[in-house]
Structure 1
Amino acid sequence: MLYRVFKWLFYLTVKGYFRSIYIKGKENIPASGPVIFVANHNSAFMDPILLAVHINRPIYFLARGESFTSKLVSTIFGWLHMIPIYKPEITPDEVYKNKAIFQKCFDHLGRGKTIMIFPEGISETVRKLRPIKTGTARIALGAEEQHQFGLGVQIVPIGINYSNPHYFRSDVFVEVGSSIGLDQYREGYNADPVGAVLELTNLIKDRLEQLIVMVEDQSIDQLVKDIERLYRSTLREEMPEEHKASQDFYLSQEIVKAVVFNRQNRPKKSFKFERRIRQYFRALDKLKISDSKFRDPGSNNPSPWRIPYFIFGLPIFVYGFLVNILPYMTVGLLSRRVSVRADFIGSMKLAFGMFVFLIFYVLQVLIFATLTNWAWGIVFALSLYPGGLFAVNYLNQWYRFKAYLNYLRLKAKRKEPIGRLQRLRDELLNELDVGRHSYLESLD
């Protein structure tokens, strides 16, 4: 019961937190039978929450054992489908409990249920896959062994790709890969369990790497992000059949490969290009305009619908703003006051958001219903969340419109620097085309 309540609450919270969520490959999730979901781990407990609210089946999670600090906490975590696992480097005195935990997982899968595992064993906000542990393979193969490999466990890899999980109204692309069956490991596991576990672990690693943007060399990460901002929209035109989120993901994968290739084969030109693209974006930041204005100067112009939207939407915006501003500010204050690891920032905002907004909403509804009646209280309650979403969207549209007006002002007053930036942008795009063709020719 508690799991279902939290799933619904977090679904609303996640939907409000992210600007866009796109999930590809949900048809790869088995509708029934034992399943182990494996995913990369970028943002602490935001990752399991994001996946749990978008997967129709109840999910059980392997969680850090040191978090189960008391009998009460363990009971509550159990209601939330959390299963403790103990790491030798963190809780060496309790590692012996893992034998019983593994058996619990075997029994769990034997009843046709699911388990979510983050096999890297650590959360860190980087665009790469850290070395993964063998626990997933050991649990999957161990469960099959106890059922003479007739259980039918499926391992489903999932790649989570955030634009930035710690920013409110950011984007996320999730891709669910094809499932991994275990029949092929039966003979190998019976003959050499350790070898079979390592083989399956390597396969899981390979599958996960295909589902995420991999930037192994962190020194090129900023360059990749700059190229994404500048070049992805141009390349996107060649993939009109794909959803924008899918396009951006696949293009980012190719951009990383092209950057690595050009750094190795055209190092002088690559470093010169890197300096110039940084110069370009620093100039944009100084002028407080976005690259999209140079790419598409007419974007966000005052189209016929926009002015009526601002005029007639203003009362709704004011209402949504007033009833949501206090919880929003409270979440921001708490997020700044609480010191956490870098990978926990987004997760804490998400958790604070759910609880703080829920508390404020309940208090506001009680006060409003007391002053009016419960019928109006219900109507008021139903208006709070959509009112907040409308206010966020209204503000976003307004800031984009202001950015367009700022661009027009700068273009009129500072024609020469704007012209220089436009020429620099064109030169950068030409250089990117050269580098791209050089990379593509190397693949032939």
Structure 2
Amino acid sequence: MFYAFIHGLVSLALRLFYRVKVQAPADGFDGPLMFVGNHPNSLIDPALVFILTRRHVTFLAKEPLFRMPVIGWILKGLDALPVYRKQDHPSQMTKNEGTLDAARAALAEGRAITLFPEGRSHSEPSLGELKTGAARIALGAARQGAPVRIIPVGFTYEEKNVFRSEALVEVGPAIEVLPFLRGEGEEAEREAVRTLTARIAAELKALTVNLDRWEDLPVIQLAERLYAFRQGEKVGSERLKHWARGLQLLQAGQPERFEQVRSALMSYHRRLAVVQATPEDVALTYHPRGVFTFIVKNLAVVCLGLPLFLAGLVLFGLPYQVPPLVARRSELDLQGTVKFLVSLVLVFVWWPGLVAVFWALGGWGWGVGALLGLPPLALFTLYFSERWSVLWHDITVFFALGNRSRLKALLQADGAQLATELEQLASEYRSQLERSSASGA
């Protein structure tokens, strides 16, 4: 019962906090399973596994989390298993054998477990070196006769510490563990662990964005926007990993051409930033009728929604400011988790508090009205604030480009030239990317 409640609550809350996009098979999550993933966003990463399956999943988490208020209580209620890391408890590392035995036993019983073989949450631009624990657990259960499968999961965040940003959860093909068993003896066991760990790393790299440096992130993001716009498609986080891998191949094979393309993209990125525009904005054509429709439509939205928005600001302005303030001193990979948890706690404190105030001031009718009406009002306030940001962006771009036809024409021409170059690169490297993905390179 406790697991089902937490599962439903966290799944709903995550979909409200992020724009969660899942690419996974509709079924196939039966039998003894081990979910493994990259680890860029602390407790958010394992929480997103809730969205993948309704099965009871046993989590492995670092031991210090079990001693934290609320979080520790939840982890114990979910029957999570503690992992003792050297940097936390050098003298208690031997306790990990008990954790590994419990994880192997769970798989042998046909259950599902989740762990993150990087061993830590981080904000580095590529997948870290994997620990061997995942392979050792899976192989140990397989030696007991369990048909264990490892499910690689890639987590890609648009802006992991920003409310309502996109979170992509992508599931790769299952890895059958039994074929990795290589006979008896310590040497055979070491080889099996090494080979399986390498296979897990290859599958996770295929599901994630891996960069040599964070400075290249704007390059691949702009490349995706230009390419998607030229193809008439929506921008997608899932294609960023292909751009990252493609540019790495270009750099290795044609370093001079890579520097030319990178320099051109960075220059275009800086010029767009000056006018606060995107490639889509540059392609817009302003007609009097369209401008009039835009003005009337958004005035209607403002006039109709502004009273409710102001009411929402009065009621929720203070709690909306708390999560960013609390999270700003945290490391980047922890900020999303802190904001999410603080927001969740505030919901269960602020909402009942407001209901009690309305009940005391207006009686049970006002109390029931507040109980039912405050959640939709809170969500509308957030939606309206996002809508206002989009509206302000459109207005800014209109005044920046609407009457500067020469600047706009130059940006359009340069964007078209870059898009053509990117299409050519995509065509040249598509087969090579497919081969490298198939080989796990």
Q: Which of residues 325, 339, 346 in structure 2 aligns to 1:333?
A: 325
Alignment of 1:13-412 (within 5 A): 13-18=13-18, 20-31=19-30, 33-69=31-67, 77-145=75-143, 147=144, 149=145, 151-186=146-181, 188=183, 192-216=188-212, 218=214, 220-235=216-231, 237=233, 244=234, 247-249=236-238, 251-297=239-285, 302=293, 306-336=298-328, 339-374=329-364, 376-412=366-402
One-letter amino acid of the counterpart of residue 258, structure 1: G
SS at match of 1:27: coil
SS at match of 2:224: helix
SS at match of 1:416: helix
One-letter amino acid of the counterpart of residue 244, structure 2: V
Structure 1 window deviating more from structure 2 (259-268 vs 319-328): it is 259-268
Which whole-Å CA distance do the structure 2 matches of 1:402 and 1:71 have between them? 41
Residue 318 of structure 1: how far off its partner (Å): 3.2
Residue 129 of structure 1: how far off its partner (Å): 1.7
Change (3 A) 1:54 1:298: farther
Structure 1 window deviating more from structure 2 (268-277 vs 343-352): it is 268-277
Which whole-Å CA distance do the structure 2 matches of 1:356 and 1:226 have between them? 37
SS at match of 1:60: strand
Structure 1 window deviating more from structure 2 (428-437 vs 123-132): it is 428-437
Which whole-Å CA distance do the structure 1 matches of 2:100 and 2:70 have between them? 22
SS at match of 2:194: helix
Which whole-Å CA distance do the structure 1 matches of 2:431 and 2:69 have between them? 62
Q: Does residue 419 in structure 1 map to residue 409 in structure 2? A: yes
1:7 is matched with which residue?
7
One-letter amino acid of the counterpart of residue 226, structure 2: L
Which whole-Å CA distance do the structure 2 matches of 1:321 and 1:194 have between them? 59
Which whole-Å CA distance do the structure 1 matches of 2:80 and 2:214 have between them? 33
Which whole-Å CA distance do the structure 2 matches of 1:265 and 1:181 have between them? 34
Structure 1 window deviating more from structure 2 (86-95 vs 358-367): it is 86-95
Contact 1:159 1:208 in 2 (8 A): yes
Which whole-Å CA distance do the structure 2 matches of 1:53 and 1:87 have between them? 28
Which whole-Å CA distance do the structure 1 matches of 2:255 and 2:69 have between them? 58
Which whole-Å CA distance do the structure 2 matches of 1:218 and 1:409 have between them? 32
Which whole-Å CA distance do the structure 1 matches of 2:428 and 2:172 have between them? 31
Contact 1:189 1:195 in 2 (8 A): no
Which whole-Å CA distance do the structure 1 matches of 2:418 and 2:71 have between them? 55
Change (3 A) 1:174 1:402: same
Change (3 A) 1:154 1:440: closer
Which whole-Å CA distance do the structure 1 matches of 2:165 and 2:3 have between them? 26
Which runs of 5 or more structure 1 residues have no equivalent in the other structure? 238-243
Structure 1 window deviating more from structure 2 (99-108 vs 429-438): it is 429-438
Change (3 A) 1:260 1:71: closer
Residue 132 of structure 1: how far off its partner (Å): 1.0
Residue 409 of structure 1: how far off its partner (Å): 2.5
The total of aligned residue pairs comes to 429
Contact 1:10 1:354 in 2 (8 A): no
CA distances 1:294-338 after superposition (whole Å, capped 9, x unpaired) = 1344699645765544433334333333332221012222223xx
Which whole-Å CA distance do the structure 1 matches of 2:92 and 2:232 have between them? 51
Which whole-Å CA distance do the structure 1 matches of 2:204 and 2:89 have between them? 28
CA distances 1:346-389 after superposition (whole Å, capped 9, x unpaired) = 11111111112321112111111222344542442233233222
Which whole-Å CA distance do the structure 1 matches of 2:367 and 2:397 have between them? 45
Which runs of 5 or more structure 2 residues have no equivalent in the other structure? 436-441
CA distances 1:49-86 after superposition (whole Å, capped 9, x unpaired) = 22224431222211112334499986653113321111
Which whole-Å CA distance do the structure 2 matches of 1:203 and 1:438 have between them? 27
Contact 1:38 1:156 in 2 (8 A): yes
Contact 1:39 1:117 in 2 (8 A): yes
SS at match of 2:176: coil
Which whole-Å CA distance do the structure 1 matches of 2:134 and 2:323 have between them? 36
One-letter amino acid of the counterpart of residue 399, structure 1: S
CA distances 1:149-177 after superposition (whole Å, capped 9, x unpaired) = 1x333221111111121122210111122
Which whole-Å CA distance do the structure 1 matches of 2:134 and 2:286 have between them? 51
SS at match of 2:126: coil
Which whole-Å CA distance do the structure 1 matches of 2:180 and 2:254 have between them? 44
Change (3 A) 1:70 1:45: closer
One-letter amino acid of the counterpart of residue 319, structure 2: P
Residue 95 of structure 1: how far off its partner (Å): 1.0
Residue 93 of structure 1: how far off its partner (Å): 0.5
Q: CA RMSD in A?
A: 3.1
Contact 1:157 1:176 in 2 (8 A): yes
1:435 is matched with which residue?
425
Structure 1 window deviating more from structure 2 (172-181 vs 396-405): it is 396-405
Structure 2 length as normaliser, TM-score? Answer: 0.86
Which whole-Å CA distance do the structure 2 matches of 1:205 and 1:441 have between them? 22
Contact 1:29 1:156 in 2 (8 A): no
Change (3 A) 1:35 1:236: farther
Which whole-Å CA distance do the structure 2 matches of 1:162 and 1:70 have between them? 26
Change (3 A) 1:253 1:345: same
